[in-house]
Amino acid sequence: MGTAGSNQDDGSLVYVSADPSQAEQFAQKIEAVTGMTVLTRSTVTGGLEALATRPDLACIVSDYDLPDIDGIAFLQAVRVQFPDFPFILFTSEGNERVASKAITARVTEYLIKEHFQDHWSELGTLIAQSIGTHHTQRSITDPEARAKVILEAALDPMVIVQNETFRYA
């Protein structure tokens, strides 16, 4: 479907929250501390649409309480298409049941809003770390990226020919 996170210089994230004033505050604060563009969406449908259409999207931050489905179901929908895409559940639903479900669904981070109320730079750092970890893991597991690193580091000249075309020289 989409190519979320395919751009090397990812510069945006989407925040999904049913509360418009909270979404506006989040966008202002996180843009100020990270320099990233923050898109806000009020529904899971809007979040999934951004994921499918924005190749510069680097991360999803979502509330748990959403109008169409909950944040865990949203996470599961994202994992079907993008198994390792950074997804941060940023919620006031700080209970063991929700946390356990989020961990089982492979959430990148599970953060309680109240802990970050006046700590926007810490939240921005966690978002940046999640994105950085994703990029590192992707570059390690991508065979073409690994081959390129090896070839660039090689002291002797090397050539790879694939389908009668020079790929690297």
The tokens describing 64, both together, are: 């748990």
pLDDT in tens, 43-59: 999 999 999 999 889 99
For residue 90, being part of any structural domain is answered with yes
pLDDT at 124 over 80: yes
Number of domains the chain is built from: 1
The 10 Å CB-count burial string (b at 16+, else e) for 147-165 is eeeeeeeeeeeeeeeeeee
pTM score, two decimals? 0.74
pLDDT at 95 over 90: no
Chain-centroid distance, C-alpha 53: 14
For residue 76, being part of any structural domain is answered with yes
For residue 66, being part of any structural domain is answered with yes
pLDDT band of residue 1 (cuts 50, 70, 90) is very low
pLDDT at 2 over 50: no
pLDDT at 65 over 70: yes
Q: What is the pLDDT of residue 74?
A: 96
Residue 50: domain span? 12-142
For residue 50, being part of any structural domain is answered with yes
Cα dist from 1 to 50, 75, 98, 125, 167, whole Å: 12, 17, 29, 30, 27
The DSSP bridge partners found for residue 109 are: 88
Side chain identity, residue 7? N
For residue 130, being part of any structural domain is answered with yes
Q: Domain with 50 in it: what CATH number? A: 3.40.50.2300
Between 117 and 89, the higher pLDDT residue = 89
For residue 159, being part of any structural domain is answered with no
Helix runs in 15-57, H state only: 20-34, 44-53
* Cα 124 to Cα 75: distance, rounded to the nearest angstrom: 20
For residue 155, being part of any structural domain is answered with no
pLDDT in tens, 101-111: 999 999 999 98
Going across the sheet that includes 37-41, the strands are: 37-41, 12-16, 57-62, 87-91, 109-112
Cα dist from 118 to 27, 45, 158, whole Å: 14, 29, 53
For residue 23, being part of any structural domain is answered with yes
